[in-house]
Structure 1
């Protein structure tokens, strides 16, 4: 096994870089609503066809961004879509 010797300054720089990377990772994990899905990921997540996604976009059911021919969906918009169409379970207790 090889040993690597770092100066104090090199060690501090390395630790600072690792801290910065760790902070970036934590921020991304805290805000999944800021994540964007491409069209293929959206289709797989919602288990729908391309045509259904197109209809939803045309009818304003889901918000999206388009750059050229690429379409992206914000995860927070997908969450809003699901929340808006959420139906709470109702109690259907049978009395005997």
Structure 2
């Protein structure tokens, strides 16, 4: 029985390493963009909302204080429903 030596220079190993790197990249991307659903709703963090609305964290806090934007606070963490953000944008859209 003949055995073939596989090392990091063989084509098979290069393909395997490349595949693992691609899977790793995809998983990192998914981890950064995935938002779990709670009761069919997608919840966003303050950072996500600031990026979507192009506002600062302080402005977002003002919106909360003035009850312009609804939010949920769980164990000190503030979350925003994506549907509420979309509704806010639609209600304030001007042509």
- For the aligned pair, the TM-score class normalised by the smaller chain equals 0.5 to 0.7
72, 84, 93: which is aligned to 1:65? Answer: 72
Which segments of 5 or more consecutive residues in structure 2 lack a partner in the other structure? Answer: 1-36
**Equivalent residues in 2 for 1:1-96, closer than 5 Å:** 34-88=41-95
Deviations 1:1-49 (A, max 9, x none): xxxxxxxxxxxxxxxxxxxxxxxxxxx7xxxx82110111111111111
Which segments of 5 or more consecutive residues in structure 1 lack a partner in the other structure? Answer: 1-27, 89-96
Moved over 3 A (4+): none
Number of residue pairs the alignment of both structures matches = 57
- RMSD, aligned CA: 1.6
- Relative CO higher for 1 or 2, CA cutoff 8 Å, sep ≥ 6? 1
> Which residue of structure 1 lines up, in the alignment, with residue 19 of structure 2?
none
What is the TM-score with the length of structure 2 in the denominator? 0.55
